[in-house]
Amino acid sequence: MQIRFTKMQGAGNDFVVLDETQGALGLTPAQYRFLADRHFGVGADQILTVRPSLADGIDFEYLIHNADGGQVQQCGNGARCFARYVRDKGLTAKEQIRVQTLAGVIAPRLESDGRVTVDMGRPALEPARLPFDTQGLAPVPQGLVQKWPLTLDGQAPEATVMIVAVSMGNPHAVQLVDDVDRAPVALTGPLIESHPRFAERVNAGYLQVQSRSQVRLRVYERGVGETLACGTGACAAVVAGIGLGLLDARVDVHTRGGLLTIAWAGGPDDPVLMTGPASTVFEGQIDIPDLP
């Protein structure tokens, strides 16, 4: 089967975008893995699929598959690329759209400076929402949130890291580090991602607070590995930092792939707003092998 695709990136988090507005392509998890493969396919952290929506007040459905072929609930950098894609392809004339994801409705808006702001909805801090099994763990309360001790074993010498659990529709375990450049992301990222207390695995964030409005962040993404940026990871890290009392309501998040600005007023009903870049890299077509 031959399909057309668009390659996009947002702060270096890269995507293959597929148009299913005229009909479903019916790809298997192995075919998503093939598309994401950087040697045999196109190469991407996630595959994003645009579908029409039949629901009132909802413009599109947005499907997200990680590079490992698994479908997931939410992708923030992808949401900005999604909004840019549907506008550039003439699938909508609107500047603000409402998009159904597995985690609920999000609302991306094109800004006049070319960036995109997305209302990512409300964060959730209850461990069960990730899900995160806290049985037998003693939480350390700080500010509005709790830090949880997570003991890592495996290849690393046994170590306990303190994490804040945040759901942005998808699960995040955020830890504070002194210097992101020296954080053991490659070593502990996979151990946190697959920790048995996270039944659906988890994205592991490493947050360095530089001031009340400037942070640096690295994220080891579930189903991918470390990426140059993670939009929901940035939202989760800022929610954690505000909850811990370390950050103001608007924060610049410096990732290895670019700058994201995250705003959260701090109340349980307040949505998280994310602003950042979204660009098309190239377009093409590719033969996809039959991969059941």
Q: Are 25 and 19 in contact (CB under 8 A)?
A: no
Smallest separation (angstroms) from ligand LBFN2T5F to the CB of 290: 26
Smallest separation (angstroms) from ligand LBFN2T5F to the CB of 11: 8
Smallest separation (angstroms) from ligand LBFN2T5F to the CB of 166: 12
Smallest separation (angstroms) from ligand LBFN2T5F to the CB of 46: 5
Burial of 255 (C-beta count, 10 Å sphere; 0-12/13-18/19+): buried
- Give the binding range for ligand LBFN2T5F (CB under 6 A) out of 74-82, 87-95, 126-134, 283-291: 74-82
CA dist 136 → 139, 148, 149, 191 (Å): 10, 11, 10, 20
| Residues contacting residue 252 through CB under 8 Å, at least 6 positions apart | 213, 214, 215, 259, 260, 261
C-alpha triplet 96, 101, 107: angle, nearest 5°: 20
Which position has the token pair 């890290």? Answer: 237
**Of 146 and 170, which CB lies nearer to ligand LBFN2T5F in the complex structure?**
170
- For position 75 contacting ligand LBFN2T5F by CB under 6 A, the verdict is yes
Q: Is 90 left (phi over 0), alpha (psi -120 to 50) or beta?
A: left
Q: Are 110 and 83 in contact (CB under 8 A)?
A: yes
| Residues contacting residue 110 through CB under 8 Å, at least 6 positions apart | 83, 84, 87, 95, 96, 116
- For position 9 contacting ligand LBFN2T5F by CB under 6 A, the verdict is no
Burial of 68 (C-beta count, 10 Å sphere; 0-12/13-18/19+): middle
- For position 188 contacting ligand LBFN2T5F by CB under 6 A, the verdict is no
Smallest separation (angstroms) from ligand LBFN2T5F to the CB of 287: 26
- For position 232 contacting ligand LBFN2T5F by CB under 6 A, the verdict is yes
Q: Are 99 and 79 in contact (CB under 8 A)?
A: yes
Q: Which of 13, 49, 101, 167 binds ligand LBFN2T5F (CB under 6 A)?
A: 13
**Of 51 and 287, which CB lies nearer to ligand LBFN2T5F in the complex structure?**
51
- For position 231 contacting ligand LBFN2T5F by CB under 6 A, the verdict is yes
Q: Which of 221, 240, 272, 275 binds ligand LBFN2T5F (CB under 6 A)?
A: 221
Near ligand LBFN2T5F in 79-118, by CB under 6 A: none
- For position 203 contacting ligand LBFN2T5F by CB under 6 A, the verdict is yes
Buried b (16+ CB within 10 A) or exposed e, 216-254: bbbbbbbbbbbbbbbbbbbbbbbbbbbbbebbeebbbbb
Rounded distance between C-alpha atoms, residue 205 and residue 128, angstroms = 19
**Of 280 and 292, which CB lies nearer to ligand LBFN2T5F in the complex structure?**
280
Smallest separation (angstroms) from ligand LBFN2T5F to the CB of 231: 3
- Give the binding range for ligand LBFN2T5F (CB under 6 A) out of 49-57, 125-133, 135-143, 219-227: 219-227
Active site residues: 75, 230
Q: Name the residues that contact ligand LBFN2T5F, by CB under 6 A.
A: 13, 45-46, 66, 72, 75-78, 170, 203, 221-224, 227, 230-232
